Structure 1
């Protein structure tokens, strides 16, 4: 008898709640007609990539930011409806967004 069975015996009325699935690119994140702008800047001498121009819900954009950061294993933040990624990852980010179905436009350099 493992721990799960022992807990079920102790608490028979306890029902496990199913966790809601995270938003998926096909179903959860809102697609837009206007392109997302992918910019390159240097702040304090360090390169950063900025994604701007998303017109959907901010929660969807935050989910997208987290997914980009974890996929690329880089740091970044979400401020003022912009995703700021540390480093110059324009090509990789644009490929990821195009694979998800977003329209992306490269701005600068």
Structure 2
């Protein structure tokens, strides 16, 4: 008897919610008219990608940073209203942001 069967025995009237994941995670993010600026820099000889120019809530930008880092499997941080991603991932990041509905502007290189 697995966990689902045990739960059905304990709560026979309960109807489980659908366990489908929402594919559009941008529903909670505020989409802006101004473009998000995607820059490429080198710091201490290492390439980094910087995203700046988001005018929405800071928490939304932090969620976006976390999502980008997990999808790209890279390190990064959120400092001074900027997302800093380790490595040159401008093309992939821009594709992800455009898919979510953001305007993106490529700067540098």
TM-score, normalised on structure 2? Answer: 0.80
- In the TM superposition, residue 26 of structure 1 has moved relative to its aligned partner by 4.0
**CA–CA distance in structure 1, aligned partners of residues 43 and 33 of structure 2:** 30
Matches within 5 A, 1:1-109: 25-109=25-109
Misfit runs of 4+, over 4 Å: 1-7
**CA–CA distance in structure 2, aligned partners of residues 63 and 53 of structure 1:** 15
- Per-residue CA distance 1:60-80 (angstroms, 9 max, x = gap): 000000000000000000000
User: Aligned-pair RMSD on alpha carbons?
Assistant: 2.9
Consecutive unaligned residues in structure 1, runs of 5 or more: 8-20
- In the TM superposition, residue 2 of structure 1 has moved relative to its aligned partner by 6.0
Question: How many aligned positions are there?
Answer: 108
SS at 1:77's partner residue?
strand
Consecutive unaligned residues in structure 2, runs of 5 or more: 8-20
- In the TM superposition, residue 3 of structure 1 has moved relative to its aligned partner by 6.7
